[in-house]
Structure formats: structure tokens, C-alpha cells
Amino acid sequence: MYLFSTWGKKESSRLQMALRSLATRKTLTLGLNSRRLIQSRALQTFSLPDLPYDYGALEPAISGEIMQLHHQKHHQTYITNYNKALEQLHEAIQKGDSSTVVKLQSAIKFNGGGHINHSIFWQNLSPIREGGGEPPKGSLGWVIDTNFGSLEALIQKINAEGAALQGSGWVWLGLDKELKKLVIETTANQDPLVTKGPHLVPLLGIDVWEHAYYLQYKNVRPDYLKNIWKVINWKYASEVYEKESA
């Protein structure tokens, strides 16, 4: 006030105009950045990650034919449909079409979940010559023994839950970061583990959809579950556990 009172009306008015102009420029800049952010989000698409091994490298536990179809066809289809749904979502938001925004949620959950789950699944597997099937070492091995009695007891429990899951879905070994303990969970369809609790982190997910085993094991899911442990990558699960439980 002192500043304005000692200035003439002209100076005071100029200062106020300058301040208004600065405020407007700030608003415009914020608006531009927001639009850029939305535009860059619209351009974000997901693509099929490479497998860290050859399709036939998990044989005889999982055939090369299954791996190729599972990766190139099934996982790719989830990604294609996820990208399509996200593009439609972006358009609907721009149009202010709330009904379509809500309608798209199930496609996003299903296809986005399919992409998330399969991306984890490929890393949960490893050829035997690269350590597949080797029991976990370090703190994860110790926690499994403490919580479940033994690795064999944990495997039996996961297999039982996976075999009992009706329809299609996943069986998980997860870390509950809040309760600081290991959990075994199942999810239906392509629901990621986080849908069972916001503090759950997947260490290991096993796909129990028929497309994961039917060509080799026909409809005998327990045989698939029994054999998959020969190529489970416990090193990966241990690394996630170390990172997330620190």
C-alpha cells in the first residue's frame, strides 16, 4: 500500500497490469503443460516385451509351441486391446463422455491386467541350465521355511490353490508389505495381485489359464502345476523380495 500511495496513479496502474499479465502468463504456461502431458499420455502405447530365453528353452516342462503361442498371440492380444481401450479412454475424456469412460474400465482391467501378469510370468520362468528350478537362497528361502515349514510345503499349497481355482486365473506368491509376510492368493481372469490388496507385491505368479498348458497337458492342470516348478526362477522372486522387504 505504501508503494502505491507514494507512486502516481499511472505507475500504480502499470504495476498492477504487469502483475496481472504475469499471472495470466503463468496460467497459460500451466495450461500448455497440462495439454502437453495429456498429449504425451495419449501417445504412450505398450508393446510386447522380449522373452529373456528362447521359446524352446523351458522344455520339457513347457513346450516351445505353448511358449510361442502364449507370448506372440495371447500376450500380444492383451496389449493390442489394452492400447485400443486406452486410446478410446483418451477420446472419451476429451469429449467429456463419462458413460464411455466408465464402460471402458472392464476392458482396461482385463487387458491391462493380462499385460501386467504375463510380463511378470515370463520373468518367473527360467531354463534349467540358467538356474530354473533352483531353490531360493538368502532371506526368501529362510522366510519360506519359517512361514510354510519348507519349500516343498509351499509348493504343495500353491499347487492345491491353483488346481482348485475355478475357471481361468492366476495363483500367486506375494509379499504383503504392510503385514510384512508372504501370502498365497488367487485372482480370477486377468486380475493382477494388487486387486486383492494395495500392499501386495507379486514375487511369483503362475498362469492357470488353459492356454498356458492345454496343448501339452490337455485338461490336467495339476500335471502342469507339478512340472512348472522345474523352471521357476527363484532368483527373480528373491530379488523382488529383497528390494520390497528392505
Contacts with Fe ion, residue ranges (CB under 5 A): 207, 209, 212
- The 3-state DSSP class for residue 167 equals coil
Q: Is 211 within any annotated ligand binding site?
A: yes
Q: Which is nearer to Fe ion, 62 or 212 (CB)?
A: 212
Q: Which is nearer to Fe ion, 66 or 175 (CB)?
A: 66
CB of 212 to Fe ion, least distance (A): 5
> What region does 189 belong to: left with phi over 0, alpha with psi -120 to 50, or beta?
left
Q: Which is nearer to Fe ion, 236 or 241 (CB)?
A: 236
For residues 183 and 105, what is the distance between their CA atoms, to the nearest angstrom? 27
CB-side exposure of 87: number of CA atoms within 13 Å? Answer: 9
For residues 146 and 139, what is the distance between their CA atoms, to the nearest angstrom? 10
CB of 203 to Fe ion, least distance (A): 18
CB of 77 to Fe ion, least distance (A): 10
Q: Is 70 within any annotated ligand binding site?
A: yes
CB 134 within 8 A of CB 231: no
CB of 65 to Fe ion, least distance (A): 14
Q: Residue 100 is placed in which grid cell?
A: 464411455
- What secondary structure letter does DSSP report for 50? P
What is the number of the residue whose Cβ is closest to Fe ion? 207
Q: Which is nearer to Fe ion, 51 or 212 (CB)?
A: 212
Q: Is 71 within any annotated ligand binding site?
A: no
Closest of 111, 54, 62 to residue 211, by C-alpha: 62
Q: Is 74 within any annotated ligand binding site?
A: no
Annotated binding-site residues read 70, 118, 207, 211
